[in-house]
Amino acid sequence: MTEKNPEIARAMLPVLQEAGQIAKDYRRRADADFAIMIKKDGSKVTGGDLAVHEFLAREIPKITPDIPVASEEDPASHIDYGDHPYWVLDPIDGTNNFINGRASASNDYSILAAIVQNRLPQLGLVYGPESETLYIAMQAGGAYKVDDNNISNPRVLKTRTWEKGDDIIIGTTHYFDTSPYKDFLKQSFERAGFKPIFQKFEPTISRICNVAEGIVDVYATALSSPAGEWDIAAAHVVLNEAGGGVMNLKDLATPVRYGNPAQGMTNIMAVSDMKAAQLALTL
């Protein structure tokens, strides 16, 4: 699969752009036409999510006919794929922001697509339709950010190495204030000689991609409430290839594994320097 990733990525670009236009068009509909439904797990889904899902589920098999597609919006696709390759998709990541901010041109939602094989994500695409921003990465191929759909001028993403005495910016969301991990991270980083600084995130295309491009050093995601593979996989590749990684806080020696979208992912943290973070958390 690795040798085909560049070809697959190139073929996916116009597909993501068209999917993004579907999302933008739907977002600008009148309120009466903006269908909002509640799924079995209590989360919201809109007609926009479903329209983008249907488009991607139709177009991606034209590019990779031998790779099945697992989408958040298709429960029948949430099966155990084992080590076999499969796509994992989030047609619209950030549905609440898609709903609440649909009158503005903010970049607070994204389309996520990744290929997983051997239980690890191999190719990741994170596309923000409103800002026309793309993060793209593939195993052993580097991580890049493309602005304004200008694929001819990508920016290489590279994380920094932490040094003792450094400020470590930990990006958080509202739920993190009551998380038992907050004191644990603060004490662990201080004990290792770092200066942890907690900073609230505004909604962005991908908070994990923010770690990859150095806006923050840490994002503690999917702690008490689980995330889906579709929430993490694409940005995970971007962060890996930028030099960081996603940690399993329950077992620091075991990589975060994929393979079964039916199972939620918990106790994971995105960091820009895996070696330093692992050392800090084991002192």
Domains in the chain, number: 2
Per-residue pLDDT tens digits for 146-188:
988 787 889 999 999 999 999 999 998 777 777 778 888 999 9
Domain identity same for 14 and 109: yes
Determine the pLDDT at residue 249: 87
**Residue 13 belongs to what H/E stretch?**
helix 5-27
User: Can you tell me whether residue 248 is helix, strand or coil?
Assistant: strand
As a whole number of angstroms, the distance between CA 172 and CA 231 comes to 16
The pLDDT score that the predictor gives to residue 31 is: 59
More confident residue, 60 or 24: 60
Q: Which residues have CB under 8 Å from 179's CB, separation 6+?
A: 220, 223, 224
Summarize the confidence of residues 73-99 as an average pLDDT: 92
- Domain membership flag for residue 185: yes
Which of the pair, 40 or 255, is modelled with greater confidence?
255
**Could you tell me the two tokens for 134?**
């793309």
CB 18 within 8 A of CB 52: no
Q: Of 131, 156, 181, which residue is a domain's last?
A: 156
Q: Identify whether residues 278 and 214 lie together within a single domain.
A: yes
Q: In the predicted model, is pLDDT for residue 252 greater than 70?
A: yes
Nearest Cα to Cα of residue 272 among 207, 226, 225, 223: 207
Q: What is the CATH number of the domain that holds 8?
A: 3.30.540.10
Range of the domain at 267: 167-282
Residue 40 has pLDDT above 80, yes or no: no
User: Of 7-16, 196-205, 248-257, 271-280, which gets the smallest average pLDDT?
Assistant: 196-205
Judge if 26 and 152 occupy the same domain.
yes
State residue 200's pLDDT score.
85
Average pLDDT of the residues in 37-46: 75
Q: Nearest Cα to 268, choosing from 238, 233, 243, 242?
A: 233
Position 140 scores a pLDDT of 92
Q: Residue 42 — very low, low, confident or very high, per pLDDT cuts 50/70/90? A: low
